[in-house]
Amino acid sequence: MSRLRAATAALVVVALVTGCGGATPATPAGHQVVRVAAAADLKFALEEVAAVLAKADPPMRLQTTYGSSGTFFQQISNGAPFDVYLSADLSYPTRLAEAGLAAPQDVFDYAVGRLVLWVPHDSPVDLSKGLAAVADPAVGKVAIANPEHAPYGKAAVAAMRSAGVYERVQSRLVLGENVAQAAEFAASGNAGASVIALSLALAPQLADRGQHVEVPLESFPRLNQGGVVLAGVADRAAALRLREFLTGDDGTAILKRYGFYLPGS
């Protein structure tokens, strides 16, 4: 890898992983604040949402941590202090409500996720073959999110099984902690391909460096994505306002730009 390419890849990695935690800046007076645990596929879409809400009246600041939905489910079950949980799998928020950690009426669906095979522009992979292309050992490592706790990882495994390639690829899989890290592995050259969320592949940070083909929706369980306002919310009015934005016209327009289908579609 050339120095220029390596430097560019490093910038992509920074873009993908930034926002996964760290110090929280002071909030100006008059701003609403919502602490959000968000599935990693939402990273770029939610950044747009945050930018709009920051200019709204009253301004709202999202303190967002990105990760895998299953990991957040465990953390919230153990008392992690979040106001809103945006999962890539609606069953997790539903289970939190069943456990008394949220009110059932505060669970909502906001999107349906889509899956793609992504490769760098200089990849020899023939995307016209779809997932069948990764059966070729010349592809090298294939990155997916960890299926133990990441919905997009579970979907990737199901899709590869449906395509009849999972057994031929299994030994070459590299597992990201979440779907954004799986994308990072391929974007940085540490994997020859990745099976990731369309929402990440459409972001300029990845679209400028690679190409993708969509995985047929019928080849994996539907990625019904949902959220919940949690029982320990610090500012309930602000959290409900975020929910209303995400499910309203402005929020759904942003989600659609990143390739999400809307609930019921």
Q: Where are the domains of the chain?
A: 3-112+222-257, 113-219
Compute and round to an integer the Cα radius of gyration of the chain: 18
Spatial CB neighbours of 6, under 8 Å, sequence gap ≥ 6: none
Beta-bridged to residue 144, according to DSSP, are 175
Percent of the chain with pLDDT over 70: 89
User: In CATH, what number does 113-219 get?
Assistant: 3.40.190.10
Backbone phi and psi for residue 84, each to the nearest 5 degrees, phi listed first: -130, 140
Distances in Å between the alpha carbon of 184 and those of 14, 98, 187, 235, 261? 9, 35, 5, 34, 24
Q: Provide the mean pLDDT of the chain.
A: 92
pLDDT of residue 18: 47
Q: How far is CA 203 from the centre of its chain?
A: 12
Spatial CB neighbours of 204, under 8 Å, sequence gap ≥ 6: none
User: Does 13 carry a binding-site annotation?
Assistant: no
* SS3 state of residue 226: strand
Domain pair 3-112+222-257 / 113-219, same fold:
yes
User: Does 179 carry a binding-site annotation?
Assistant: yes
pTM, entire model: 0.90
pLDDT in tens, 7-66: 444 445 445 654 454 434 555 657 899 999 999 999 999 999 999 999 999 999 999 999
pLDDT in tens, 239-255: 999 999 999 999 999 99
pLDDT in tens, 158-204: 999 999 999 999 999 999 999 999 999 999 999 999 999 999 999 99
What is the DSSP-derived secondary structure letter of residue 124?
-
Spatial CB neighbours of 201, under 8 Å, sequence gap ≥ 6: 116, 118, 183, 207, 210, 212, 259
Fold classified for 3-112+222-257: D-Maltodextrin-Binding Protein; domain 2 (3.40.190)
Per the structure block, which two tokens stand in for 57?
A: 């009246």
| Mean pLDDT score, 55-78 | 98
pLDDT of residue 29: 58
